[in-house]
Structure 1
Amino acid sequence: MADTEVICANPQCRVAEDRKCLEGYEELGKCPFYGREPEEAEDEQTGDDERVEDTFDGIRLPDALALDTARANRILTILSSRMIGIIGAYDSGKTSVIAGLYDLFQMGPVSGAIFAGSSTLHGLEIICHDARVTSDRDEAHSERTKRGEVRFYQIDVRSSGELQSLLIADRSGEEYEEVADLAANASAMFELRRADVITVLVDGRRLVLPTDRADTMGAIPLIIQGMIENDAFVRKPNLAIVLTKDDVVQASPKRDRVRQDFLAIVDGIRENFGDSFGDLKSFITCASPKEANVERGAGLAALLDYWLEPNAAPKGALLKFRSGRVFDGLTIEEADLG
């Protein structure tokens, strides 16, 4: 007598080979998939899905989380947009700057710019939550950006009657610090290639600490040098150099020295790398103060103005080509044909 053919509707099951049920049934006949062709289960599942789909008569909305690179690129192609790359070492305040600006818009216009919408509202709310009273935290906190990913937050604003979309990139600080060591790190950073404004953050708290001061002053120029040498910028973006956590600076007896250190960083970058950028300005901010001596969001309105400011048109040099032929030296003169 021929053996009965062993079949199973579960395509992952190998019961025909080892006589073991993938679902764990010792008696094969009790398994709902045993003895059935795969097409039967697929037909039943498809029918169930179709019935569920048919009952839905609403509108499916896209998620409002932070954007990945592909979705950010689509926005750049369909909207009048400006790409903002924010660069800084670990815990320098990148996420706090984004969240602080969004929180300012909750109170009304910011430096004349009116909030006009966002496709990343949920993502913005997530990064703002830990800095609010409802989080039940003892002090303001910002979620750390995960290594290996870049997130884009979109904020649409209406300024001077024009609608403008800002795409603000948030990437792990460690990845920017590694740019000086490996050229491939810079070339893979989409937000730098497309940037209209590069925003470099200088951690005011680390400038206050004697143990971190020298590393902080030395790290920023090295990051910028690495990006320039590794061709991270396709064009000349504007450059904003931003001192963060000014509340810590103001509360320190070393605040005058910190300001001098910050100015020294700005002057050094301007002198050594100024030709690689369209424009360069410095700002002092406090996005999420832990001290009561500085207003929340201080300096962010001025930074927003700079982000929205149009870049200068690239200057080109007129080149004259001569092949050495006599005809190249001839000029056209008007003739009276009349």
Structure 2
Amino acid sequence: MADTEIVCANRECRIAQSGKCIEGHDDLSICPFYGRVPEEIDDEQDDDDQDAVDAFDGVHLPDALPLDRGGTDKIIAKLPARMIGVIGGHDAGKTSVIAGLYDLFQLGPVSNNIFAGSSTLHGFESICHDARAASERNEPHSERTKRGEVRFYHIDVRRNDALQSLLIADRSGEEYEEVADLAANATDMFELRRADVITILVDGRRLASPSDRADVMGSIPLIIMGMVENGAFLRKPSLAIVLTKDDAVQASTRKERVEQDFRAIAKGVQDEFADHFGEFGSFVTCASPADTNVVRGAGLDKLLDFWMKPTAQPKATRIHHRNGRVFDGLAIKETSDG
């Protein structure tokens, strides 16, 4: 006699393999899912879900996903805020840098910065999941940012007893790369015009590749030039040049050449675009190493300090307007009434 097939309408249940009901029922006859196929309860579940929504009388909490442009305006209205534009080509490590910084805050203060809250916690958790052991992946992975949208990750930071917001922009790397071909593609990148710090990512793994090296070194100045020509940096922000994936660089036989190339990129950008940016800084990071023996998030603490550093205000020149009248040439003379 053949064994009776065990079925369950709950797709998460593994009773056929483990013999245990995921709902915790010892008596399977009272389980509403056991013995039924999923299709049988789909309509009933939809009705039950709708009834639950109609009967809900509690408080709906925010979804805590990455913010759109309107969401960032609300954050800026509440606290002093630093907006960070992160520019990197496809797979340069942009999402890993953002996720790695959030993971560092899980361990405590990052340098002199104390985590004080976030309105995008679910968004952070989503991009961090695939780099954690819980994802059961063989190596860290980061979800690609969708084209055609810019998202912002938000962290409130207490620094030197002052509370401040940090807004980190995340846009598809392909869109930034397209600026090198057509400067007008930077027109709608409002996050760059409002940024306090522009962060340029240099892919360490590609820089260590003989076939990709020339493309990496040539594309970065072109991307910045395209944005400058389109007036993307109106506020004269600070500029951070960041080498990512340092674990791949250290494991490469071309390690010294890569480090030399990175210094050349940083110096070339600083020399060529000095008039368009405020303070310059260069950093080496390893946000999400594939090797478990390498410290996750290395270098991000120094980068965060640079992000949070107040931007020097541009010096203004007072212009004295004269219309040719004699009175405009008069000056106030101090006298003593003795």
Tell me the equivalent position of 2:58. Answer: 58
Amino acid at match of 2:210: P
Q: CA deviation at 1:317?
A: 1.4
- The amino acid of 2:250's aligned partner reads Q
2:231 counterpart letter in structure 1: D
CA–CA distance in structure 2, aligned partners of residues 271 and 337 of structure 1? 58
Cα distance change of structure 1 residues 137 and 214 upon mapping to structure 2, 3 Å threshold: same
Q: Could you say which residue in structure 2 is the equivalent of 1:192? A: 192
Q: For 1:294 and 1:278, how far apart are their aligned partners in 2?
A: 33
Correspondence for 1:101: 101
Distance 2:72 2:63 in 1: 14
Name the amino acid aligned to 2:284: I
For 2:91 and 2:162, the matched residues in 1 are separated by: 34
Residue 157 of structure 2 aligns to a residue in which SS? strand
Q: 1:168 — aligned with what? A: 168
The equivalent residue for 1:201 is 201
CA shift digits 1:216-247 (9 cap, x unpaired)? 00101111111111011221111110000000
Counterparts of residues 312-323 of structure 1 (less than 5 Å): 312-323=312-323
Whichever of the two has the greater Rg, that structure is 1
Q: CA deviation at 1:208?
A: 0.3
2:211 maps to 1:235 = no
Query: What secondary structure is seen at the aligned counterpart in 2 of 1:199?
Result: strand
Per the alignment, in what secondary structure is the counterpart of residue 210 of structure 1? coil
User: Tell me, what secondary structure is at the counterpart of 2:201?
Assistant: strand
1:42 aligned residue? none
Show the 5 A alignment for 1:15-94: 55-94=55-94
Give 1:115's aligned amino acid.
Answer: F
Residue range with higher mean Cα deviation, 310-319 or 205-214: 310-319
Residues matched between the structures, number = 290
Residues 61 and 217 (structure 1 numbering): CA distance in 2 closer, same or farther, change over 3 Å? same
TM-score relative to the length of structure 1: 0.82
The residue aligned with 1:25 is none
Q: Which residue does 2:131 correspond to in 1?
A: 131
TM-score, structure 2 as length reference: 0.82
Which segments of structure 1 move beyond 4 Å, counting only runs of 4 or more?
50-54
**Distance across 1 between alignment mates of 2:54 and 2:223:** 55
Q: What runs of 5+ residues in structure 1 fail to find an aligned partner?
A: 1-49
C-alpha contact 1:250 1:293 (8 A) present in aligned 2: no
Partner Cα separation in structure 1 for residue 79 and residue 151 of structure 2 = 18
RMSD over equivalenced CA pairs, Å: 1.9
Give SS of 1:323's match: coil
Q: Distance in 1 between matches of 2:251 and 2:53?
A: 60
Paired residue for 2:15?
Answer: none
Cα distance between partner residues in 1 of 2:267 and 2:161: 35
1:150-191 per-position Cα deviation (integer Å, ceiling 9, x unaligned): 111111111111111111111001111122333442121121
Aligned residues of 1:177 and 1:223 also touching (Cα < 8 A): yes
Letter of the 2:62 partner, please give it: P
Conserved? CA contact 2:180–2:219, under 8 Å: no
1:146 and 1:56 map into 2 onto residues whose CA distance is 34
Shift of 1:293: 5.6
Amino acid in structure 1 at the alignment position of 2:204:
G
Aligned equivalent of 2:256: 256
| Residues in 1 aligned to 2:52 and 2:211: alpha-carbon distance in whole angstroms | 62
In 1, Cα distance between equivalents of 2:174 and 2:148: 10
Which shows bigger deviation, 73-82 or 283-292? 73-82
For 2:238 and 2:140, the matched residues in 1 are separated by 30
Change over 3 Å in CA distance of 1:326–1:307 after alignment to 2 = same
Long gaps (5+) in structure 2: 1-49
SS at match of 2:212: helix
Determine if contact 2:96/2:142 at 8 Å carries over to the other structure.
Answer: yes
Partner of 2:159: 159
Distance (whole Å) between structure 2 residues aligned to residue 54 and residue 91 of structure 1: 44
Percentage of pairs with the same residue? 68
Indicate if the aligned counterparts of 1:247 and 1:293 stay in contact, CA closer than 8 A: no
Q: Is the 8 A contact 1:131 1:142 kept in 2?
A: yes
Contact 1:248 1:291 in 2 (8 A): no
SS state of the match for residue 275, structure 2? Answer: helix
Q: Distance in 1 between matches of 2:125 and 2:135?
A: 12
Structure-2 residue corresponding to 1:31: none
- Offset of 1:52 from its aligned partner? 7.0
